[in-house]
């Protein structure tokens, strides 16, 4: 299967390949990996019909093809695609079909992309292993006994196993970058507000961001440019333009910072630390400046993140009440039992745990002690990060503290699972863009590069350069 976007589109435009052939090959590969449970649904007939229509539309070169003409994309099961089922991996939404397109989906379709299917994810994006889904766990394509990461694990595996050119996921606290690391692909979380969240099922609204996974940095850049930009349906989307990226390599040498505390942290495995230190040496040998700096808030990141996100989740998920849409219990006698039974039957264990925690931190008597302190902590963290970017181009961090774990390992140990987010939640707390890049094709580990707010173009240029040199 071809993983180079520019080469693929060039062959399609030159007539050496048809869109129908490209889509057919990807669908065949989707069928080959069904045992991994990466896809909840493959849009086989629809994707082939759209491919045929696109081939027919442009065969006489009367019309100009869209920028994503021929690109095959998978979407996470929390992005609305009109006329298609969407459940966010939860029984509470089984049977529900979307009545509109998410803004990001509409912009893909407007530029002639083909959506091949919806991918499995942790229920309501709450999890780190894609093992809380009501459809069962997704398996890592490199080792089927291991998790692929989460919550966008299905998206990561869809790219890992060459069933699409690019996948759209969502990243609330690392849900694109962590699975990208475990599956040896590139995973990018743009700045908060860079991409409209309209049509993305909310977990924590001030943290959620649509993210992109691929093996090709040019595909990520092209799709980001298409779907980025202000959206009148989303008041949190940024009016700042995303300038044309271009594919030129740039000769600049950059100033990197990394946190001393991050590589001395007890949760960082020996293998992860060795690889990270090797990457620092490699960057310095290439002429970049890499400096260790102090950062006093590392141990506050995970508590701050989980207090705030669970609070927001408690509020956001209150709409799933068995009345308006989704699962409704039949064994009820009054309105109160309708709410209780519908939610108890529809939500899984992890979602219930986070709703309860979020309700607790928002409750009278605990609001000041937890929620307000977490908000203050978030502000201090953001100020500290903004200050780092006045002196450095990028921040380097490991993507994950340790390699992928065996499926089911953390079922009874959620705290350990939460702590696996220690290196990814920083970007969401501060709203900055970050990308996870594989160290190699074997480790199942990656490193992160973070840039200042709305500096995706700079990040993409570095990404393109480092992959060329690799």
Stretch 158-181: mean pLDDT? 98
List Cβ neighbours of 41 (8 Å cut-off, separation of 6 or more): 84, 85, 117, 118
| 126: helix, strand or coil | coil
Could you tell me which of 326, 279, 108 has the C-alpha nearest to residue 199?
108
- At residue 250, the pLDDT reads 61
Stretch 283-302: mean pLDDT? 96
Binning pLDDT at 50, 70 and 90, where does residue 351 land? very high
Q: Which of 76, 215, 341, 458 is catalytic?
A: 76
Residue listed under structure tokens 């709410």: 339
SS3 breakdown of the chain: % helix, strand, coil, rounded to 5? 40, 15, 45
User: Has 315 been annotated as catalytic?
Assistant: no
Binning pLDDT at 50, 70 and 90, where does residue 326 land? confident
Could you read off the pLDDT of 50-75 as tens digits, one per residue?
999 999 988 877 778 999 999 999 99
From residue 69, how far is each of 12, 223, 245, 318, 344 by CA, in Å? 9, 11, 18, 40, 44
Could you read off the pLDDT of 188-208 as tens digits, one per residue?
999 999 999 999 999 999 999
The phi, psi pair for 210, rounded to 5°, reads -65, 135
Contact (CB, 8 A) for 306 and 422: no
Stretch 358-379: mean pLDDT? 95
Question: What are the DSSP calls for 303-326, one per residue?
Answer: HHHHHHHHHHHHHHGGG-SSSSSS
User: How far is the C-alpha of 297 from the C-alpha of 381, rounded, in Å?
Assistant: 7
- At residue 312, the pLDDT reads 97
Average pLDDT of the chain to the nearest whole number? 94
Backbone dihedral region for residue 6 (phi beyond 0: left; psi -120 to 50: alpha; all else: beta) = alpha
Stretch 389-396: mean pLDDT? 97
Contact (CB, 8 A) for 426 and 301: yes
Residue 70 is classified by DSSP as T
Q: Which of 90, 128, 152, 175 is catalytic?
A: 175
Could you tell me which of 393, 427, 415, 429 has the C-alpha nearest to residue 312?
429
Q: Which residue has the higher pLDDT, 341 or 2?
A: 341
Most distant CA atoms of the chain, gap in Å: 71
Could you read off the pLDDT of 89-132 as tens digits, one per residue?
999 999 999 999 999 999 999 999 999 999 999 999 999 999 99
The phi, psi pair for 79, rounded to 5°, reads -110, 125
Q: Residues, the chain, total?
A: 470
How many CA atoms does the CB half-sphere of 182 hold within 13 Å? 38
Query: Is 70 exceeded by the pLDDT of residue 32?
Result: yes
User: Has 175 been annotated as catalytic?
Assistant: yes
- At residue 74, the pLDDT reads 98
3-state secondary structure 402-445: CCCCECCCCCCCHHHHHHCCCCCHHHHHHCCCEEEEECCCCCCC
Could you read off the pLDDT of 222-259 as tens digits, one per residue?
999 999 999 999 999 999 888 766 655 565 899 999 99
Contacts 24+ apart (CB under 8 A), 362-369: 362/311, 362/314, 362/315
Stretch 32-46: mean pLDDT? 98
User: Has 249 been annotated as catalytic?
Assistant: no
Neighbour order of strands in the sheet with 289-293: 39-42, 114-119, 72-76, 166-170, 210-214, 186-189, 434-438, 446-451, 394-398, 255-259, 289-293
Q: Which of 151, 196, 214, 314 is catalytic?
A: 151
- At residue 248, the pLDDT reads 53
- β-pair partners for 398: 447
List Cβ neighbours of 226 (8 Å cut-off, separation of 6 or more): 67, 68, 107, 108, 111
The model's pTM: 0.95
């Amino acid at each position: 299967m071809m993983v180079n976007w520019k080469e693929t589109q060039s062959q399609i435009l030159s007539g050496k390949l048809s869109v129908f052939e490209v889509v057919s090959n990807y669908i065949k590969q989707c069928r080959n990996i069904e045992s991994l449970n990466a896809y909840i649904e493959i849009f086989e007939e629809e994707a082939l019909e759209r491919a045929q229509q696109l081939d027919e539309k442009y065969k006489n070169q009367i019309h100009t093809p869209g920028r994503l003409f021929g690109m095959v994309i998978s979407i996470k099961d929390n992005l609305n695609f009109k006329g298609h089922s969407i459940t966010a991996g939860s029984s509470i939404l089984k049977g529900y079909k979307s009545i509109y397109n998410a803004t990001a989906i509409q912009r893909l379709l407007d530029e002639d992309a083909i959506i091949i299917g919806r991918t499995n994810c942790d229920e309501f994006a709450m999890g780190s292993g894609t093992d809380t889904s009501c459809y069962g766990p997704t398996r890592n394509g490199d080792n089927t006994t291991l998790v692929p990461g989460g919550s966008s694990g299905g998206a990561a595996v869809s790219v890992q196993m060459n069933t699409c050119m690019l996948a759209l996921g969502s990243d609330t606290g690392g849900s694109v970058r962590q699975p990208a690391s475990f599956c040896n692909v590139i995973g990018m979380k743009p700045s908060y507000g860079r991409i409209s969240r309209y049509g993305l099922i909310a977990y924590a609204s001030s943290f959620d961001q649509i993210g992109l996974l691929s093996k090709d940095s040019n595909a990520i850049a092209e799709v980001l440019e298409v779907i980025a930009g202000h959206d009148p349906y989303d008041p949190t989307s940024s009016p700042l333009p995303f300038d044309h990226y271009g594919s030129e390599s740039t000769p600049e040498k950059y100033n990197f910072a990394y946190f001393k505390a991050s590589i001395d942290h007890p949760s960082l495995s020996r293998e992860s630390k060795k690889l990270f230190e090797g990457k620092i040496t490699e960057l310095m040998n290439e002429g970049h400046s890499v400096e260790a700096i102090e950062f006093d808030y590392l141990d506050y990141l995970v508590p701050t993140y989980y207090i705030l996100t669970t609070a927001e989740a408690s509020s956001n998920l209150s709409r799933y009440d068995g009345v308006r849409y989704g699962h409704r219990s039949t064994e009820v006698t009054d309105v109160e039992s309708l709410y209780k039974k519908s939610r108890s039957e529809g939500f899984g264990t992890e979602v219930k745990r986070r709703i309860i925690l979020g309700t607790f931190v928002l409750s009278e008597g605990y609001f000041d002690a937890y929620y307000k302190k977490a908000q203050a902590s978030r502000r201090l963290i953001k100020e500290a990060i903004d200050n780092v970017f006045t002196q450095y181009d990028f921040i380097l961090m490991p993507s994950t503290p340790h390699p992928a774990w065996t499926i089911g390992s953390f079922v009874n140990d959620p705290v350990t699972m939460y702590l696996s987010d220690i290196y990814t939640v920083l970007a969401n707390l501060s709203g900055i863009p970050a990308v996870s890049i594989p160290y190699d094709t074997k480790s199942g580990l990656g490193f992160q590069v973070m840039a200042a707010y709305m500096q995706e173009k700079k990040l993409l240029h570095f990404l393109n350069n480092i992959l060329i040199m690799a």
